Amino acid sequence: MTEIPYNTIDLMDIGVLLLDPTLRARFYNRRFAAMWSVRPDQLGPNPAFRDLLACAEPNSWHIAWAPETPWASRGQENAVRAGPVPPTQINFDDGRRLLFSCAVGPHGGRVLTYTDISLVLRREIEEAIDHVAADLRFNTETMENQAAYLASLAEATDENAHKAEAARLALEHEVAERRALEARLREMATIDGLTGILNRAAFLAAGQTMLEQTRGLDQDLALFMIDIDHFKAINDRYGHAGGDHALKHLVATLLGGIRRDDLLGRLGGEEFAILLPATAPETAELVGKRLVDRVAANPTDYGDRPIRMTVSIGLAAALEIEQSIEQTIARADAALYRAKNNGRNRLVTDQQACAAWISA
């Protein structure tokens, strides 16, 4: 691609793509390449915007866009070709948020920007929870001090000892209730209410921390994306209560097949993810295949009827160039999609999925 001195743009945390009037790329910065999983040696100099979209679809955030959405590949190309696009928030099915805009230059070129606002939204939620928890802690500490003062009055003054003791006990009871409320608030913010494992926001936050820690220790990090095969059929046959029973049984089955240090989370619906720290890809592949077999061999009873399940698993190992756990999830999700297409009830690795895509 033509060298352009956009050093400052290359350091921005916003994905930037410059197109000429024929919609061929003149420049894109590192953040754009990372978000779209694009390597310069894949497409050669000045690739067409359509080729960039086609290259990104099986490897990047675009996987989360359903083909019928306005921002799928063809829709995005048509919108950019038509003219300017004001800053528009794109909501992905998996909870992520992307701010996209397109400006038209004086000679007909296009300037496209892509901003990941998922972390901003998640931080706002976490800050709000922390604020409530801080208020609760302040009030709790104040009441504890008051309780201690009343306790000293009870010891020093015989006449008011009974009243002071009653007030102290009442305050201690309220302190216990507030501590329980604080613990419940944090649990609601991090735990999936049905299965008792980490919810999506908590899994992504913990996964980002684990990614940074393993990178600092120069360790491997493997990630499974797991989806129940034909889960809609289970809901249709046994009802939603039966589907919930099946989800809880699956979680118990998965927990019985991984280590205590491994991280299991529910990303939504029947989709789960597992992070395996300090685990080489070859070892993770063996673990994933055992989990596939374990789920298939352990049906659960719902009333007097058995529920049999199988799962498809996509495996990806975190790469040194990846800055966020969402990038690893995207590659594992692509491998999961390949496992579904290859007949389900199996594990497919990121390398196998990429090889199949290139050969196709």
**Which residues are marked as active site?**
270
User: 272: which residues sit within 8 A by CB, 6+ positions away?
Assistant: 225, 226, 227, 250, 251, 254, 264, 265, 266
- What single DSSP character describes residue 9? H
For residue 289, count other CB atoms closer than 10 A to its CB: 14
Listed in sequence order, the residues at least 6 apart from 247 whose beta carbon sits closer than 8 Å to its beta carbon are 194, 195, 228, 266, 270
Cβ atoms of 63 and 2 within 8 Å: the answer is no
State the chain's maximal CA–CA distance in angstroms. 92
Is residue 25 within 8 Å of residue 36, measured between CB atoms? no
Q: Are strands 347-349 and 311-317 parallel, antiparallel or unpaired?
A: parallel
Query: E-strand spans in the chain?
Result: 15-19, 25-28, 85-91, 97-104, 110-116, 221-228, 263-268, 271-277, 300-302, 305-307, 311-317, 347-349
Q: Look at the block and give the residue holding tokens 């015989």.
A: 158
Q: Tell which residue, 348, 352, 313, has the closest CA to residue 228.
A: 313
Phi and psi at 177, nearest 5°, equal -65, -40
Closest among 207, 305, 301, 224 to 258, alpha carbons compared = 224
**312 CB-side CA count, 13 A:** 19
